[in-house]
Amino acid sequence: MAAGILRESGMIFDDARYWMWAEALEMLARAERLQRRFFLPAEERADGEWEPPVDVFETPRRIWVTAALPGVGPEDVEVGVRDDVLVIRGRRTFPGVPARARLVRLEIPHGRFLRQVRLPEPGYLIVGRELRHGCLFVVLERR
């Protein structure tokens, strides 16, 4: 694939460092495509909801989950545990813009969202929850 990128740009290099650079560019392109998949607008997803990306960290007793929820207020998000699944759901409203503004780019998702994170087993309780700087931080503890 890297050689294809270099050929398309009109450059053909056999040098390993150029090949590595092309591979890095291809990895970035794949990451961007993956990110776009997570942030599909509500009307493009079959279920009408978008899925926020999450980070999950685990110790033997606790699980920390961070969900990216830009522009979502605390009153617009619900968090709960059902069996062995952490459920994060809510709505991000479309930001107010001037009536005559022309849309140039729309990348941040809006509308309903739902994210379900499978836990290692049933029996976790939410012991902490905070929405700060566009991220929801949830701490779960094993009973």
Domain layout of the chain by residue ranges: 2-38, 42-142
Which residue type sits at 89?
Answer: R
Q: What are phi and psi of 26, to 5 degrees?
A: -65, -40
Range name among 4-8, 101-105, 118-122, 133-137 with the lowest pLDDT average: 4-8
Tell me the mean pLDDT in the region 10-37.
Answer: 64
Integer Rg of the chain from CA:
20
Q: What is the pLDDT of residues 56-111, one digit of tens each?
A: 999 999 999 999 999 999 999 999 999 999 999 999 998 888 889 888 988 888 89
Q: Which residues contact 56 (CB under 8 A, 6 or more apart)?
A: 63, 64, 65, 117
pLDDT of residue 18: 67
Q: What are phi and psi of 117, to 5 degrees?
A: -115, 120
| pLDDT over threshold 90, residue 10 | no
* Structural domain 42-142, CATH architecture: Sandwich (2.60)
* pLDDT range class, residue 4, cuts 50, 70, 90: very low
**93 in helix, strand or coil?**
coil
